[in-house]
Chain A
Amino acid sequence: MSLARNQSLALLALLVIIATTLSIALPSKFLTVINLQSMASQFPEFGLLALAMVLAMITGGIDLSIVAIANLCGVVAAYILSKSIGMEIAPSIAIFAAIIAVLIVSVICGLINGALIAKMNVPPILATLGTQGLFLGLAIVITGGHSISTFPEEFSFVGNANVAGIPVPFMIFTAAAIVVGVILQRSRQGFDMTLIGANFTVSKYSGIDNTRTIIKTYVIVAILAGIASLIMISRANSMRPGYGEAYLLSTILVAVLGGTDPDGGFGNLWGVILGIFILQLTQSGLNILSISPFFTKFIWGAALLSMLVVNFYLPKIVEHRKLERARFRENNRDIAGPE
């Protein structure tokens, strides 16, 4: 997979360039502990959603419902947490209950998506387009369109605390990324997912239970979205249905930017993590430089399109070079031959 390594290296170079530029341009604002900490607590909720999107894409699918799942989980957790204050339940029990509820809700959402896609053969984009409305609609119905706020104080630990100077959301993200990495590279599930994405029929005839693997994938995707929801509501100390809708397109962008093949069969975890970092760095940098969010939007569109074009032409160029090199060697051998 030298292409993957090349791409990760290119992204790493881009990251270093952006970081260096920002540090030189804004030494007093960018390269401060506070700014780094705030960045490290800002991106994990988005990063977890991006990891989820990558997993769905590796199997050749897509999950448009991740933000809606995060919303539904967030609303359920927020409901439990805010009710617990009135009912004078110990915060630790309330938080535990909220986390369990998020797990249950996210697994159910994932099972629904997985069943629609794998059992009923609905194309992933349509299945999750429908469930997106279903989950978000349910979140709106539960809250009546209002936001839910005031949680036990202890809960803000998840989104706002630092342990040894490292923000807790960052730790959660790191742990999740390691788990996803292990799943993708060291487990049967990851292998099966990649093969399904590469060729559905071949994987079926290789003795892989496609249905089971795909359902499992969408459950994992939903759990990641659920974890993201916990960070979201803790950081904002409230939950409003519809929060983070703009994340959806950005997750697809980062996944593709990081080298995930939207047709499935190939995903590059390092590339995606670098992509998430690049997105966060650029966003904070442009923010500090007070460049309008609209221009940022414009830049992201341009970045995604150029990445697509590069991804499309890079393999062709590499192939072309290989061919030329081979031809060159052949010619040399011809010349060297008679001697």
Chain B
Amino acid sequence: MNIKNLIKKQEIQLLIFVLIFSTMITIISPAFLTLENLFDLLRGSSGVAILAIGIFLVLLSGGIDVSSTTIAIAGQYIAINVMMAMGVNNIWFAFAISISVGISLGAINAIFISILNLPTLIVTLGTSSLFHGALLEFVGTRSINSGNLPRAIKEFGKYKILVLERANGSEYGLSVFFLIMVLVVILTWLILRYTMIGRGIYAIGGNQDAAERVGFKVKKIKLFVYCYAGFLAGIMGVMHVALIRSANPQYLVGSELSIIAAVVLGGTRISGGVGTISGTMIGVILITVLEKNLVLLGLSSYWQKFFVGLIIVMGVIITYGDLSRKKRDENSSAKAIEPSSQVNSASQVNKGDVL
């Protein structure tokens, strides 16, 4: 692949944008470009990245999922409550509970979407309202603060896989969160690249009818996608409580749209079939850097929402925008003549553009 083609790829454009933005921040505030700040950034965004991978898979299959944050908070809050009620102080136990809650709730999504074949946006809107209402009504609304959290959770939050020393002798390091994220990325990449289910996700996102005729088990694949998204949300739930050291069932819910935005900015098509994990990761980095560091550029935090919105609008214009009228007319008439124009996106499956 030569350089010209490389620049045309959306991930690369995005990466260049992130780099320019980071350079700007570094020039204005040199504190940004330290290893410590980078580690902090990775620790803070690993959870969001894992959730984003779940949403990425859903988008890839041609759906949309607005319930993932609710599932994450449900897994987290139930896990913490069970741990405290049973007096268990073990991080694996927390993950086990949170992940099982995540998979079960994901399976409920999957029943409506894959078996009953209902529209994904409306279903996940409904289930997120259902899950969150049930969580608040039947499990509780009490916020559990740092003092009452099981010790294992707090230790997990502080655990580092790489420890470095500051000039004054105190320590900092790379959090275990980063390792979990890397494992999730590798696992997802392997699934997408080497399994029939993974190839099927691209295929049904590109053209569901064609995928079905080729022999992909559409229902089974969708079931897998939503359960896997629930599984990832379960992992993220525990990471989130360890990160902020407080479990509140009202947290996280409401941030799903900005995570979807990050995935879409990373080049994943909302109509499905096209998208890469690396793009998703860059999208998450972009949104996180933007949200956390506008203040370093001297802009008050009030501008944050505006700029994130602006970036999303610009991003979608670049991805979908077709400013020249002539080209668009050609496109739509081509579509009218040849109804299977979606094959275009389906054919990208073969290129192996997973990462």
Of B127, B134, B310, which one neighbours A134 at CB under 8 angstroms? B310
Q: Does B118 lie within 8 Å of A133, measured CB to CB?
A: no
Distance in angstroms from A75 CB to nearest chain B CB is 12
Interfacial chain A residues near B22, Cβ < 8 Å: none
Interfacial chain A residues near B112, Cβ < 8 Å: 305, 308-309
Docked complex Cα distance between A32 and B313 (Å): 48
Of A125, A204, A309, which one neighbours B118 at CB under 8 angstroms? A309
Distance in angstroms from B334 CB to nearest chain A CB is 11
Distance in angstroms from A15 CB to nearest chain B CB is 21
Interfacial chain A residues near B335, Cβ < 8 Å: 201
Docked complex Cα distance between A315 and B236 (Å): 40
A3 within 8 A of B: no
B40 within 8 A of A: no
B6 within 8 A of A: no
Q: State which size class the interface on B falls in.
A: 35 or more
Of B116, B118, B129, B305, which one neighbours A297 at CB under 8 angstroms? B129
Query: Which of B131, B270, B309 has most A Cβ within 10 Å?
Result: B309
Docked complex Cα distance between A126 and B309 (Å): 11
B298 within 8 A of A: no
Of A120, A133, A299, A312, which one neighbours B317 at CB under 8 angstroms? A120
Of B134, B257, B320, which one neighbours A121 at CB under 8 angstroms? B320
Q: B308-342: contact bitstring with A at CB < 8 Å (1 yes, 0 no)?
A: 11101101110011110000100010011000000
Q: Does A130 lie within 8 Å of B316, measured CB to CB?
A: yes
Interfacial chain B residues near A134, Cβ < 8 Å: 306, 309-310, 313
Once A123-B270, A123-B271, A137-B307 are accepted as A-B contacts, the answer to whether A201 and B320 lie under 8 Å apart by CB is no
Residue of B nearest to A210 (CB): B332
Distance in angstroms from B153 CB to nearest chain A CB is 25
Q: Does B270 lie within 8 Å of A130, measured CB to CB?
A: no
Distance in angstroms from B158 CB to nearest chain A CB is 33
B207 within 8 A of A: no
Query: Which of B133, B257, B317, B336 has most A Cβ within 10 Å?
Result: B133
Q: Does B306 lie within 8 Å of A309, measured CB to CB?
A: no
Interfacial chain A residues near B332, Cβ < 8 Å: 201, 204
A135 within 8 A of B: yes
Per DSSP, are chain A's interface residues mostly helix, strand or loop, or mixed? helix
**B interface residues (Cβ-Cβ under 8 A, vs A):** 64, 112, 116-119, 121-123, 125-134, 136-137, 141, 254, 257-258, 260-261, 264, 270-271, 300, 302-310, 312-313, 315-317, 320-323, 328, 332, 335-336
Known contacts A137-B306, A297-B137, A301-B128; 19 additional CB pairs below 8 A are A116-B313, A126-B316, A127-B313, A129-B260, A129-B261, A130-B261, A131-B309, A133-B305, A133-B310, A135-B309, A140-B306, A141-B302, A145-B302, A294-B132, A294-B133, A301-B126, A301-B130, A305-B112, A309-B118
**A interface residues (Cβ-Cβ under 8 A, vs B):** 62, 64, 116, 120-123, 125-127, 129-138, 140-141, 144-145, 201, 204-205, 245, 249, 252-253, 256, 262-263, 292, 294-302, 304-305, 308-309, 312
Q: List 23 A-B residue pairs with CB atoms under 8 Å apart, sorted by A's residue number.
A: A120-B320, A120-B323, A123-B320, A127-B316, A129-B264, A133-B305, A133-B306, A133-B309, A133-B310, A134-B309, A137-B308, A141-B302, A141-B306, A201-B332, A253-B129, A256-B122, A292-B136, A294-B132, A294-B137, A298-B134, A301-B130, A305-B112, A308-B116
